[in-house]
Amino acid sequence: MKYVVLIRHGESYTNRNGILSSELNKYRLTEEGLEQARFTGEQLKGLKFNGIISSPVLRAVETANIINQFLNLHITTDNRALESDFGEYNGKRIVDIPDKSRNELGMESFESQQNRMIDLINSYEGSYLVVSHSFPIRCALAHYLGLNEEESFGMDIRHASMSVIDVENGKIMSIGSLLLSQRIKKIFE
């Protein structure tokens, strides 16, 4: 890719109920999440992209479809944008998960998640929107910033936020923003 805008899905019932889930069709966006996705779509209206790539998880697909109402682009689902594999903790409440590392819990590693997001970014030509999840987005950003998992903990990837990467120059232009600056908008005009 030349540029990528990584978009976290809007608030879903997993978020509202504090549940970890990578299930494809179980958790929809909340009313707040629907509104967040519409707001992001409005921010992107009139800008030019080659397409939208979405995680196949329902909350991401719903977000991509709402955003696309403002852009009318082709949407591709790509498993590399999936939510993390939570292993035996899939579907569990976050407060019930032991305070251990992802590796100790048998969850997908930071490195695995990072590798598949970077592979996704490197396999498309042009400028795309990628609708994914908080952790995969944080992993991709950490790659460009040269941060490991622990060093990236402070990144706040809010619901329906946009993180922009100038892939060709390896430069982060925004992290978890709800609005795009005029400087960034000019790139996609």
At 39, which CATH number? 3.40.50.1240
pLDDT one-digit tens code per residue, 111-154: 999 999 999 999 999 999 999 999 999 999 999 999 999 999 99
Give the domain extent around 159. 3-187
Catalytic site residue 9? yes
pLDDT digits (tens, 9 = 90+) for 11-54: 999 899 888 888 888 889 999 999 999 999 999 999 999 999 99
143 is catalytic: no
Q: What is the dihedral of CA 120, 124, 126, 132, to 10 degrees?
A: -30
Active-site option among 9, 74, 143, 159: 9
Task: Tell me the C-alpha distance between 142 and 86, whole Å.
Answer: 20
pLDDT at 20: 84
Q: Which of 74, 133, 143, 159 is catalytic?
A: 133
Distance CA(85)–CA(23), nearest Å, equals: 9
Task: Quick: pLDDT tens for 66-117.
Answer: 999 999 999 999 999 999 889 898 888 999 999 998 889 999 999 999 999 9
The total of structural domains in the chain comes to: 1
